[in-house]
Amino acid sequence: MVHTYEVFVDICESADVSNNIYKHTFQRGTERYEIATESRDKLDEIAFSQARTDHPQGIEFDVRVTRIIK
Q: Is 5 helix (H, G, I), strand (E, B) or coil?
A: strand
pLDDT at 23: 57
Average pLDDT, the chain: 87
Distance, first Cα to last Cα, the chain: 11
Q: What is the pLDDT of residues 38-64, one digit of tens each?
A: 888 899 999 999 999 999 989 999 999
Q: Report domain extents, the chain.
A: 3-68
Q: What is the pLDDT of residue 46?
A: 94
Return the higher-pLDDT residue of 16 and 35: 35
Is 6 strand, coil or helix?
Answer: strand
Q: Please say if the pLDDT value at position 16 is more than 70.
A: no
